[in-house]
Amino acid sequence: MDTLLLMLICGGGYLIAYHTYGRFLAKKIFKLNKDVPVPSVEFQDGIDYVPTRKAIIFGHHYTSIAGTGPIVGPAIGIIWGWLPAILWVFFGCIFMGAVHDLGALVVSLRNEGKSLSEVTAKYINMRVRFIFFAVVFLALLIVIAIFGVVIAAVFTRFPSAVIPVWLQIPIAVTLGYAVYKKTANVPLSTFLAVTGMYLCILLGAWIDSKWPGICTMPTIGALPAGGVWKIIPPTGVWVIILLIYAWVASTLPVTTLLQPRDYINAWQLFIAMGLLVAGAVAASISGELPLIAPAINRNLPSNTPPIWPFIFVVIACGAISGFHSLVASGTSSKQVSKETDSLFVGYGSMLLEGFLAVLVLICVAAGIGMALKLDGDTILTGQQAWQHQYSSWMGEKGLTDKIAPVVIGAANMMGQLGLPETIGITLMGVFIASFAGTTLDTSTRIQRYVISELATDLRIKFLANRWAATTFAVLTAAGLAFAAGADGTGAMKLWPLFGSANQLLAALALLIVTLYLKGKGGKKFVVSAVPCLIMLVITNWAMIENEIGYVRQKNWLLTIIGGGIFLLALWMTIEAIITFKFKNSKDCQQKEALLT
């Protein structure tokens, strides 16, 4: 299929889905009402609960859910062929992922902006609530601990991105101050902030080309112990710095740094996506962008797992991801200023993420074939380039190897617009690092909410305030990150569990949404029940396959922790099914009225 036609079909399909199925969900299923009080207004505190303009909260939500997920997942999942990857991203996003995100946001909005973990007690019971808390805490713990390493790897691979990424912070703080304290004109402030961001990108590319290596992080010698110096490697240094940053960003009012930075990153993404679309059009017109990846790959590397069920776990963001429910019910529900904005924020942002995943697939299925430069003067093109990049299972490679085909393909496509390769690579490096940073600080803030909610229920008062809860979140992540040594990569030992745990969260979130809709009466719950059932089957299948693999490898750490997560999920599923089967809608409505 022609690359340009594929892009147009997917983009047009997402637009149609938003204005048909999305509006059906908003009006007929969830019955969004702009006049109903929302948590951001009822509990406004200027720190976490802040009524926010639709465009700005969209930017925050979109960049928070995107992160590096829709980049890395499709770049790995295309190993099975571009056709199954595109089909999963397109249909999964419309009928599963966007329903999941919108449902989680609405349920939280109608429960005081509380997380899905907290409201689980209302729709199932207290036992299941603690199970949900345990799964969420573990997932966020891994994310916070690992994303410091992710950003460190990006900085190492693309040192020209270091300066622009850090200069985004004062730009974002200035933007937040101008808009919220000085009531500055939002469009003008946005233009100035985004322009400043791109000037920083040019600065980073120029500095790296003139003085290469200046932005790399040196090792730091710690105090001598027994006459031997202990050295903290660059990744360990970056992890420490980034965790300190996450602590600060997560305790500040949301309008000071988190929200304006996410808003700027959203514009960065819009512009990057626009450049990719324009580059794809230009390359397609000139006949230089054919799909060189196989539609269905029948010559898989020997260590590649089977497509069923693993494509549904490997490609999460862009199709459906449980992490999105944590953002929707964690930060976004505390900022949406009226219920009707949920369609744009929840459903719309997921569709746009799906389109980003489509563009990533085009980068690695076609863009990389334009030119793949190897050591020396060797340049591969066409299918040779793709085969060289995907001659082994990408899932076992490091982060830089996983994102390399995306960056190379994107730079090739943007090069059709006359953009120098150095700037194109810097732009993509900043893009990836910025989104990873957004995921890091958003995850830390959500973990703080989780800890505070649980501490409040358990009456552990000192742990309920935002400083203590954030400190606990950061210290536990640091403990995991440095458990295996000073390089800060300890969380890598648990990273193989994240894919299935993340999709398990999606299934459990859809369970809560289904029970919520069941309580409203009628057959509305079908829109979330069907995706829920599919995700439960797929995820449990993948977890069982993984457990078998861990046992064969004698990896007892992953066997025990993965088995524990599987048993907790099974327990929660059984309890939810019992609730669904034996509690009629009238009982649920009475319970909802009593608790509210």
Note the pLDDT of residue 496. Answer: 85
Note the pLDDT of residue 445. Answer: 92
Note the pLDDT of residue 379. Answer: 86
- Looking at residue 256, what DSSP letter applies? T
Note the pLDDT of residue 372. Answer: 86
For tokens 């439960």, what's the residue? Answer: 536
Most confident region among 82-91, 463-472, 480-489 by mean pLDDT:
82-91
Evaluate the CA torsion angle 153, 154, 158, 162 in order and state its sign.
negative
Q: What is the C-alpha to C-alpha distance for residues 266 and 327, in angstroms, rounded to an integer?
A: 15
Rounded-to-10 torsion of CA 12, 16, 22, 27: 160
Q: What is the C-alpha to C-alpha distance for residues 494 and 224, in angstroms, rounded to an integer?
A: 31
In this prediction, residues 81-99 reach a mean pLDDT of 97
- pLDDT tens profile 493-536: 888 888 888 998 999 899 999 999 998 888 999 999 999 999 99
In this prediction, residues 359-379 reach a mean pLDDT of 88
287 exposed, middle or buried (CB, 10 Å; 0-12, 13-18, 19+)? exposed
Note the pLDDT of residue 468. Answer: 94
How sure is the predictor about 358, in pLDDT bands with cuts at 50, 70 and 90? very high
Would you say residue 229 has pLDDT above 50? no
Q: What is the C-alpha to C-alpha distance for residues 192 and 184, in angstroms, rounded to an integer?
A: 12
In 3D space, the residue among 266, 274, 267, 271 whose CA is nearest the CA of residue 11 turns out to be: 274
Would you say residue 214 has pLDDT above 80? no
In this prediction, residues 545-559 reach a mean pLDDT of 91
Most confident region among 147-156, 227-236, 296-305, 370-379 by mean pLDDT:
296-305
- pLDDT tens profile 101-124: 999 999 999 999 998 888 888 888
Would you say residue 589 has pLDDT above 50? no
Alpha-carbon distances, residue 535 vs 310, 492, 569 (angstroms): 12, 25, 12
Domain architecture of the chain: domains with CATH: 3-297+308-365+403-494 (1.10.4160)
Q: What is the C-alpha to C-alpha distance for residues 133 and 153, in angstroms, rounded to an integer?
A: 30
Q: Which residue has the higher pLDDT, 381 or 148?
A: 381
Q: What is the C-alpha to C-alpha distance for residues 568 and 346, in angstroms, rounded to an integer?
A: 28
Note the pLDDT of residue 216. Answer: 63
Q: What is the C-alpha to C-alpha distance for residues 493 and 146, in angstroms, rounded to an integer?
A: 10
In 3D space, the residue among 528, 279, 305 whose CA is nearest the CA of residue 427 turns out to be: 279
Between helices 421-457 and 126-157, what is the axis angle to 10°? 160
Give the largest Cα separation in the chain, rounded.
Answer: 73
Which secondary-structure segment (H or E) carries 226? none
- pLDDT tens profile 567-584: 887 887 788 778 777 765
Of all residues in the chain, the percent with pLDDT exceeding 70 is 93
Which secondary-structure segment (H or E) carries 287? none
- pLDDT tens profile 402-454: 888 888 898 889 888 887 777 777 777 787 788 788 888 889 999 999 899 88
220 exposed, middle or buried (CB, 10 Å; 0-12, 13-18, 19+)? middle
Q: Where are the alpha helices (DSSP H) in 465-553?
A: 466-481, 495-518, 526-553
Evaluate the CA torsion angle 565, 568, 569, 570 in order and state its sign.
positive
Q: Where are the alpha helices (DSSP H) in 458-494?
A: 466-481
Would you say residue 593 has pLDDT above 80? no
In 3D space, the residue among 88, 103, 89, 87 whose CA is nearest the CA of residue 22 turns out to be: 103
* Contact (CB, 8 A) for 57 and 345: yes
In 3D space, the residue among 146, 50, 144 whose CA is nearest the CA of residue 442 turns out to be: 144
Tokens of 24: 């059906």
Q: What is the C-alpha to C-alpha distance for residues 94 and 311, in angstroms, rounded to an integer?
A: 17
Q: How many residues does the chain have?
A: 596
Would you say residue 596 has pLDDT above 80? no
Residue 379, strand partner residues: 373
Would you say residue 82 has pLDDT above 50? yes
Would you say residue 588 has pLDDT above 50? no
* Contact (CB, 8 A) for 438 and 262: yes
In 3D space, the residue among 147, 156, 168, 164 whose CA is nearest the CA of residue 216 turns out to be: 156
pTM: 0.90
Residue 225, strand partner residues: 228
Q: Rounded mean pLDDT of the chain?
A: 87
Q: What is the C-alpha to C-alpha distance for residues 429 and 281, in angstroms, rounded to an integer?
A: 23
Would you say residue 222 has pLDDT above 90? no
Would you say residue 476 has pLDDT above 80? yes
In 3D space, the residue among 407, 428, 154, 68 whose CA is nearest the CA of residue 272 turns out to be: 428
Alpha-carbon distances, residue 567 vs 23, 117, 140, 215, 546 (angstroms): 37, 17, 19, 46, 14
